[in-house]
Amino acid sequence: MISGILNNAAPLLLAAMGGLFTELAGVLNIAMEGMILTGAFTAILVSNFGGGLLTSTLCAALAGLLTAWVFSLTSFKLRGNIFITGLGINILMPALTASFSQKIFGNQGIIHPGSLRHIPSTAGLDLYTWGTLACTGAVMFILYRTYPGLTLRASGRQKDLLKSKGISPEKVQTAAVLISGMMCGISGAILSLRLGAYVPGMSAGKGWIALVAIYLGYKKIPGIVAACIFFTAAEAIANQAQGILQIPPSLILSFPYFFTLMGLGLFAILKKRRQ
């Protein structure tokens, strides 16, 4: 049960870690949803043409990076409104994957490659979960014990601060967006490679929920981990409850999102208390 929740929390946590980078840099990264979906599609595409687990995951990371690059280019270089460009990415990526899917597989629905790779696992957690946990530790180290990490944490609000130290805030922001793109790409790969298929819209709001988890965890890693586990547990309960309770399944399936909303409300209350 616990290992199951941890496994399911891995893609969300990985995306949240990526989002933490952008959040600390003062960028509202709402394009994560699109980045995750791109990763998911790319991973299946590559494994369909014979790519192994590692190759598929790396290609997904690359695809995420590319999406993030487009996002940062339009937002910083071309000075687009970050909300609009982010939404643009989220609308563009599903459409783009659908047209690629049509061209390559002849349909826009579920893509199910013939050969499925087995994902190795130990102690109930698979390779990706272990990788995500290791990555979480690494992010913690990078943010709190390296100079680039300090710079990133300092960069969010005070642009003059970085300028006075001779650092370009724009470069820090671009780097943060690219890193988040890579991590979201891998997060998508975990989703699709575990399922062994690509389903349109399979990111299912993970990019948004990751953003909520970041806020709910006060932008601190232990808090974010707890928030991700909380949301995943809520999802698991919703799935279980479908069979037991006499509530319309569509209502039960909205539980995680309902919990997200409650989480946001809780965050607002906690913040007010703190002040």
Partner 1 sequence: MTEPVSYSSIVLTEITRSFRKNGIKACDNISFSVKNGEILAIMGENGAGKSTLMHILSGFMKADRGSLVFPADPDQNHPSVGMIHQKPILAGNLNVWENIALGHPQKSLVVKPAELSSSIRRIQENYGLALDLSMKGWELTAAQIQRAELLECLLLDRKILIFDEPTASLSEQQAEELLLLLKRLKGEGRTILYITHKIKEAYHLADRIAVLRKGKLKMISPVGEISPEAVSEAMIGKGAEIPDMIRKAERKTFSEAVPVLELKNINYSHQGSIRLKDLSLQLHAGEILGIAGIRENGLACLEDLITGAVRPQSGKILLKGKMIPYLTPFRFRKHGISYIPADRLKRGASLDSTLGENLILLKRKLEGNAGSYKTKLIQWAKKLISKGEIEGQAEQKVRTLSGGNIQKMILVREMHEAPALLIISEPSWGLDFSSREKLHYQISNARSRDAAVLLLTTDIDEILILSDRIAVLTGGELSETAPAGQDWNRKTIGERMTGADRL
| Cβ neighbours of 85 (radius 10 Å) | 22
State the minimum distance, in angstroms, from the CB of residue 267 to partner 1.
17
Choose one: 114-122, 125-133, 150-158, 194-202; the region binding partner 1 (CB under 8 A).
Answer: 150-158
* CA angle, residues 208, 15, 240, in degrees to nearest 5: 70
110 vs 167, beta carbon nearer partner 1:
167
Alpha carbon distance 76, 46 (integer Å): 31
- Note whether 273 binds partner 1 by CB under 8 A: no
Size of the site for partner 1 (CB under 8 A): 20
- Note whether 153 binds partner 1 by CB under 8 A: yes
Task: Write out the DSSP string of 58-114.
Answer: HHHHHHHHHHHHHHHIIIIIS---HHHHHHHHHHHHHHHHHHHHHHHHS-SS-B--S
Using the rule CB under 8 A, which residue among 165, 272, 273, 274 binds partner 1? 165
- Note whether 3 binds partner 1 by CB under 8 A: no
Angle between helices 206-216 and 169-195 (to 10 degrees): 120
Using the rule CB under 8 A, which residue among 109, 148, 248, 265 binds partner 1? 148
Using the rule CB under 8 A, which residue among 99, 158, 168, 240 binds partner 1? 158
Of the candidates 38, 15, 44, 28, the one whose C-alpha atom is nearest the C-alpha of residue 89 is 38
Alpha carbon distance 134, 187 (integer Å): 14
Amino acid at the residue 223: G
Using the rule CB under 8 A, which residue among 1, 147, 244, 272 binds partner 1? 147
104 vs 150, beta carbon nearer partner 1:
150
State the minimum distance, in angstroms, from the CB of residue 270 to partner 1.
17
Residue 215 in contact with residue 269, Cβ under 8 Å? no
Using the rule CB under 8 A, which residue among 79, 103, 118, 145 binds partner 1? 145
Alpha carbon distance 266, 16 (integer Å): 19
Residue 184 in contact with residue 18, Cβ under 8 Å? yes
34 vs 156, beta carbon nearer partner 1:
156
- Note whether 154 binds partner 1 by CB under 8 A: yes
179 vs 189, beta carbon nearer partner 1:
179
- Note whether 232 binds partner 1 by CB under 8 A: no
Of the candidates 168, 165, 189, 175, the one whose C-alpha atom is nearest the C-alpha of residue 38 is 189
- Note whether 79 binds partner 1 by CB under 8 A: no
- Note whether 166 binds partner 1 by CB under 8 A: yes
Which spans of this chain sit near partner 1 (rule: CB under 8 A)?
A: 144-151, 153-158, 160-161, 163-166
